[in-house]
A and B are shown apart, each in its own frame.
Chain A
Amino acid sequence: MMREESINGRQLITLTVMAQLGTEVLSLPHVGAENARQDTWLAVLISGVAAQIGILLIWWLGSRYPNRNFYAYTREVVGRPIGFVLNLLYGCYYSFSGLLITALYTDILKRWMFLLTPRWLIFLMLMIICGYAATSSLKRMAFISQSFIIFPVICFLLIAFSGIYGLDARNLLPVLSHGWAPVIKGVYVAYSAYIGYDLLLYAYPYVQAGSKKKLLIAMSVANALTIVFYVTVCLVCTTMFGQKQLIIVPEPIVFILKNYRIQVLQSLDILFLVFYVFVVSATIYVYFFLASKAFVHLRTSGLGNSYHWVWAIVTICFAASFFLTKRNDILRIAAFQDQLSILAVVAFPLLLLLISGIRSAGRHRV
């Protein structure tokens, strides 16, 4: 039942980049400015390096169990009952993350493009499409992400070229005006933007990259690409807007793009938001996929199939979306989700690594 076709390094890179890039591209400069002010780019960069350490952690954990995915070996590391609870928690965490990202993006769409369209309709459409994608196997999902990869590239080019005019590099100065404290806070906030590399928890045994080291390199390349994307976004926004403006404007990138027009297209922001749906949904379906796999692995021999789990999750998320309509609520929950994701992506794997290390050390002594 847990048959999964293997993917290659390139596919892993694509999947990871697409999973990492999410709605944060739009909101990161704004959120970063609230915390790290003009040093947002620095905070985002450091945060990316921190994510690299997180990748190393998961890679290390995965290389201890190279033949099984995360959900299959939790039980072995911490025992049956705790492993069950852990898988359940991960399932809920990923469903919740998927729901939240959908809600965030729906909110953005609603405000920028669909003032009159009912929110639930956009939400439902996104949910159905992402659920549909999440029912595929890991390899087919990698295919889907590969087909969509052109869109983050276009989005990146749009952002990078939108910075041609009106840049004021002085906006970046002074560096570290308030010391390191705000930057560290910014690092924490920006870290959630890099979440998505935790896909490796599940994907590790299915990657055929040649060697352990090449797998790590693939993950690092993916992370580096994400860092470049985010840092560029932050640099463009920080240099285009002053600090006071950035704190007021929730999605500065859209504002910047709205300002530009080329001969054949008048408003690039619409194009950007439409193209961005490919990027966001790539994150959402990866989360739904991971959630469904977590639920399937609740029992060693498999509990139901992931197809049914995905649609169950989608249904529940859609029902839950009716309670997530106010922007403030969504943002508050998003802040809570940031803490949760640190727990799920950093703390738990670290704990598992320690436990498995201690246990194997104990076994060696005996």
Chain B
Amino acid sequence: MNPSVAASEQFFYEQFSGQSDFQSKKLLIGGIEYRLFYLNTLIDSSHVQEFILKPLLSKPLNDVREVISILDYEETDHVEEAVQAVVCGKTVLHRDGESKLYLLGADLKKERTINIPSNERILRGANEAFIENLDTNLNLMRKLIPSTELVVKTYTIGRLSKTKVAVMYIKSVADPSLFEELDRRLLSIDSDYTESPGFIDELIRDKKFSLFPQLLITERPDRARAYLMEGKMVIATSGSPDAIILPVTFWSFFQSPDDYHISWLLGTFFRLLRLACFLLTIGLPAFYVSVSSFNPQLLPINFVNTLQSSLKYVTFPPLIETIAMMLLLEILREATIRLASPAGQTIGVVGGIVIGTVIVQSNLASNTMVIVAALTGLASFIIPSYEMSSAVRLLGYPAILLSSVFGLLGLAFFFMIIFIYLCQMSTMGQPYFSPPFSLSGIRDTLIRSPIWNLKKRPAGTSPYNQTRLRHPRSWKR
């Protein structure tokens, strides 16, 4: 490169033509001409004064390297690289007559503080959540696993956005072939910008059209650590407070960090409850349709009488009634999310109580239907993963349609289709859903077995290093 400052200034002005926040400061210290290039919206000016200008002024003749006390220090002899560094928030220094540029990190750090998780509430356990700053997130993870075994590999994705994406895994636990596969998939992404988790999820997932979530998204570092310890990988992205965990199985979506902090019997009960709610969310509205319009003889006669009497004045057939009520539930949910939080509760009252009561009183839907809709909504919200719970609620509609044609048999058909689909699915070459059919299979899936019993990691993701707990409760002997 050209050693003259005028030439490099010329180059920078060409690159940043029309940019109002670009600054090129002329300095004359000890008879030597300096240029300082930076974007004044990105740098921390007190840092620049304190650690760059002041030392230079005090020892003008020394080598720049010896004078400047900044850790993030680089030299380059490519002007293009220096331009890129300026965009990223660095300050570029050029001393006249030297054919190299100094890239000095004095960027302004703007980030919010670490908050408590707002979307994954738990009662017991850590209360830290990831934030938008990747470095902070990595810092949280490193603090949770202070070991060289935790590998952090960063990628830059997005031609314009240059989003930093970090993949974490534990060297001695994770299956290296899984990492290679993920590496291959991440490197294949070539886009202008990327947003996590949505973009990355859809670009690396196995089944393009699957309704079921194939990656687990979390905002909890402790949860990320728990999965790292199982040999899974965590993707954190700058600009996103959500980390992606993969490869996960169907069962992971029903695990909650809570489970491990309470008695294992309770944990098991809650987990079974969630799985039951999975079936309930899909099946309950469809069951209502088939019982009220197809197979009323299944239920006790007294109940059927009650049901029929409440259906008596309802104009619409159960199919329409059910779909309308399920849509109403969905509208309420969406409205509560979008609305400013103080107004959210109002919506709850208006939607839940007013609409619910009035709909029944005006005979638009039977009161059994209102109960069914409310139960279905509640059941779906029990599932800890938002993605899974929304997917499951959406699955209710085809179930309703099939039930309206075949009654209970239609519901059976639908469950068959779902389970066949789940059984055929894989994520990162691992089966997505495998029925818990052995003692080791149900250990952390269907039930939450006691901690002292969880001696082995799941074989799928950590085939080589399976022991995670040695000699549990050996003090007892």
A266 and B412 form a contact (CB under 8 A): no
B residues in contact (CB < 8 Å) with A: 295, 297-301, 304, 405-409, 411-413, 416-417, 419-420, 422-424, 431, 433-435, 437-438
A277 and B413 form a contact (CB under 8 A): yes
> Does A265 belong to the interface (CB within 8 Å)?
yes
B409 and A281 form a contact (CB under 8 A): no
Given B299, B405, B406, B413, which contacts A266 in the complex, CB threshold below 8 Å?
B299
- State which size class the interface on A falls in: 35 or more
Taken together as a complex, chains A and B put the C-alpha atoms of A273 and B411 apart, in Å, by 13
Identify 16 residue pairs between A and B in the complex whose beta-carbon atoms are under 8 Å apart, listed by A's number: A10-B438, A125-B406, A129-B413, A133-B416, A140-B431, A141-B423, A146-B437, A147-B433, A148-B419, A265-B298, A266-B304, A267-B297, A267-B298, A273-B409, A274-B409, A277-B413
Taken together as a complex, chains A and B put the C-alpha atoms of A148 and B437 apart, in Å, by 11
A129 with B407: in contact, given A146-B435, A274-B412 (CB under 8 Å)?
Answer: no
A277 with B433: in contact, given A10-B438, A144-B423, A266-B297 (CB under 8 Å)?
Answer: no
> Does A156 belong to the interface (CB within 8 Å)?
no
B413 and A270 form a contact (CB under 8 A): no
A144 and B420 form a contact (CB under 8 A): yes
> Does A347 belong to the interface (CB within 8 Å)?
no
> Does A328 belong to the interface (CB within 8 Å)?
no
A143 with B412: in contact, given A136-B423, A270-B295 (CB under 8 Å)?
Answer: no
A281 with B416: in contact, given A109-B409, A147-B435 (CB under 8 Å)?
Answer: yes
Chain B residues, Cβ within 8 Å of A278 = 412, 416
Q: In the assembled complex, how far is the CB of residue A306 from the closest CB belonging to chain B, in whole angstroms? A: 13
Q: In the assembled complex, how far is the CB of residue A102 from the closest CB belonging to chain B, in whole angstroms? A: 13
Within 8 A of B (CB), among A257-301: 261, 263-267, 270-271, 273-275, 277-278, 281
Chain B residues, Cβ within 8 Å of A147 = 419, 422-423, 433, 435
B300 and A143 form a contact (CB under 8 A): no
> Does A238 belong to the interface (CB within 8 Å)?
no
B412 and A121 form a contact (CB under 8 A): no
B409 and A277 form a contact (CB under 8 A): yes
Task: For the complex of A and B, list the 9 residue pairs with the smallest distance between their C-beta atoms, beginning with the closest.
Answer: A146-B435, A143-B423, A147-B419, A144-B423, A147-B435, A133-B420, A274-B408, A136-B424, A274-B412
Taken together as a complex, chains A and B put the C-alpha atoms of A147 and B435 apart, in Å, by 6
Taken together as a complex, chains A and B put the C-alpha atoms of A293 and B438 apart, in Å, by 29
Taken together as a complex, chains A and B put the C-alpha atoms of A40 and B431 apart, in Å, by 43
Given A140, A264, A274, which contacts B300 in the complex, CB threshold below 8 Å?
A264
Q: In the assembled complex, how far is the CB of residue B468 from the closest CB belonging to chain A, in whole angstroms? A: 23
Chain B residues, Cβ within 8 Å of A11 = 437
> Does A132 belong to the interface (CB within 8 Å)?
yes
Chain A residues, Cβ within 8 Å of B437 = 10-11, 14, 146
B423 and A113 form a contact (CB under 8 A): no
Chain A residues, Cβ within 8 Å of B406 = 114, 117, 122, 125
Q: In the assembled complex, how far is the CB of residue B230 from the closest CB belonging to chain A, in whole angstroms? A: 21
Chain A residue nearest to B433 in the complex (CB): A143
Q: In the assembled complex, how far is the CB of residue A184 from the closest CB belonging to chain B, in whole angstroms? A: 38
Given B298, B300, B422, which contacts A263 in the complex, CB threshold below 8 Å?
B300
Chain A residues, Cβ within 8 Å of B299 = 264-266
Chain B residue nearest to A137 in the complex (CB): B424
Chain A residue nearest to B296 in the complex (CB): A266
Within 8 A of B (CB), among A133-168: 133, 135-136, 139-141, 143-144, 146-149
B295 and A265 form a contact (CB under 8 A): no
Taken together as a complex, chains A and B put the C-alpha atoms of A17 and B407 apart, in Å, by 28
Chain B residues, Cβ within 8 Å of A144 = 419-420, 423
Most buried by A among B431, B434, B437: B437
Within 8 A of B (CB), among A7-64: 10-11, 14
A266 and B409 form a contact (CB under 8 A): no
Q: In the assembled complex, how far is the CB of residue B425 from the closest CB belonging to chain A, in whole angstroms? A: 9
Chain A residue nearest to B417 in the complex (CB): A129
Chain B residue nearest to A276 in the complex (CB): B412
Most buried by B among A121, A122, A147: A147
Q: In the assembled complex, how far is the CB of residue B51 from the closest CB belonging to chain A, in whole angstroms? A: 60
B300 and A125 form a contact (CB under 8 A): no
Chain B residue nearest to A134 in the complex (CB): B420
A125 and B413 form a contact (CB under 8 A): yes
Taken together as a complex, chains A and B put the C-alpha atoms of A146 and B420 apart, in Å, by 11
Q: In the assembled complex, how far is the CB of residue B439 from the closest CB belonging to chain A, in whole angstroms? A: 11
Q: In the assembled complex, how far is the CB of residue A13 from the closest CB belonging to chain B, in whole angstroms? A: 10
Taken together as a complex, chains A and B put the C-alpha atoms of A133 and B407 apart, in Å, by 22
A132 and B300 form a contact (CB under 8 A): no
Chain B residues, Cβ within 8 Å of A261 = 300
Chain A residues, Cβ within 8 Å of B416 = 129, 133, 148, 277-278, 281
Q: In the assembled complex, how far is the CB of residue B319 from the closest CB belonging to chain A, in whole angstroms? A: 15
